[in-house]
Amino acid sequence: MKQPFSIFNGILAVFALSFAVLAMAPALQIGSLQPVVDEDTGDIYPVDISGVQAQGRAVYVSQGCVTCHTEQVRDPSEGADIARGWGVRRTVARDYIYEKPALLGYMRFGPDLANIGSRKDKDDPDKYTAAWHYKHLYDPRETSPGSIMPSYKFLFETQKIAGQEDADALKFANDDAPPAGYQIVPGPEARALVAYLTTLDHSHPLKEAGPNIEVKTTGTAAAGGAKK
């Protein structure tokens, strides 16, 4: 009986096909993309990020942000990502060529972060600034009531003010406020993480992503009122 021959050949063939199509083909097809240079302005996109921002990406990985946040914007036909103000176009493979690792994610308990660095809230100009991110990381429910994000207080330090207050010291009007004479300042990991978040921007036009889409910004307090 020559069956084992066919079992092993079959098992091998099935695996090889799967590997070739879903692991090798992407490496060959989109594994060596180049940045695009705008002929008129000389702008290059995408560009690699700086050292501290790359450290911030490592913090993002290490804190498991990817468990609840994605970094990919889908075409309007695939979901309301753009209508939510998460981006002006879908993201494509070229957007991620310098991202080691590309943090596409798999779950959205929180919003997509692919363009968090360029996002604006038309009612609240302070939203999404570095100071806002620090506050949000320290106490998510202070800046976003109802959020289920964990608090990252352990990335911050409460220290005695020696001389002048730190420029990034967190300003709280509630119980989070430190005792008099003390200040809450972001630690090195929080600073790196916020430096990374504020650079996240995939809005530069790319031919393969189609034209950028103008969105009447939703996701604001005003729209929140409209629900009631």
Partner 1 sequence: MPEALSKPAQLEAPEMSAAEIEWIDRSLIDASVRTPVMFFFTTAQTWLLTATLVGFVCSIKLHWPTFLGDWSFLTYGRLWPAYTNMLVYGWGLPAGIGTAIWITARLCRVVLRAPWIPIISGIFWNIGVTVGVIAVLAGNMRPYELLEFPRQASVLLFIAYSLIGVWGVLMFQNRRPGHVYISLWYLVGAFFWFPWLYASANLMVGSRHLQGVVPDAVAAWYAQGLLGYFFASVGLGTIYYLIPKVIGKPIHSYNLSLLGFWSFELFWGLTGMVRYTGGPFPVWYSSLSIAALILLLIPVGTVGVNILMTMKDDSHMVYHSPTVRFCMYGTVAWLVGMLITIFGSVREMDPYTHFTNFSVGAFYLLVYAFFTMAMFGAMYYIVPRLVGCEWLSATFIRLHFWGAAYGMGFMILLLIIAGFVQGGSWNDPASYPHAANVVEQIMPYLIFCSVVWLLLIVAHFLYFVHFLAMVLRLGQPSGEPTLFAPIEEGEQQP
- Which span (7-15, 48-56, 161-169, 170-178) binds partner 1, by CB under 8 A? 7-15
Of the candidate spans 36-44, 161-169, 180-188, 214-222, the one that interacts with partner 1 by CB under 8 A turns out to be 214-222
Query: Per the structure block, which two tokens stand in for 142?
Result: 């202070």
Q: Measured from the CB atom, is 109 or 165 closer to partner 1? A: 109
Structure tokens at 156: 């911050």
Among 36, 52, 54, 92, binds partner 1 (CB under 8 A): 92
Distance of alpha carbon 171 from alpha carbon 148, whole angstroms: 22
Per-residue x/- track, 133-162, partner 1 (CB under 8 A): -------xx--xxxxxxxxxxx--------
Tell me phi and psi for residue 37, to 5 degrees. Answer: -110, 125
Closest CA to 74 of 116, 110, 112, 101: 112
Part of the chain binding partner 1 (CB under 8 A), chosen from 48-56, 105-113, 129-137, 175-183:
105-113
Q: Residue 184: helix, strand or coil by DSSP?
A: strand
Site size for partner 1 (CB under 8 A) = 83
Taking CB under 8 A as the rule, does residue 78 contact partner 1? yes
**CA distance linking residue 69 with residue 85, whole number of Å:** 15
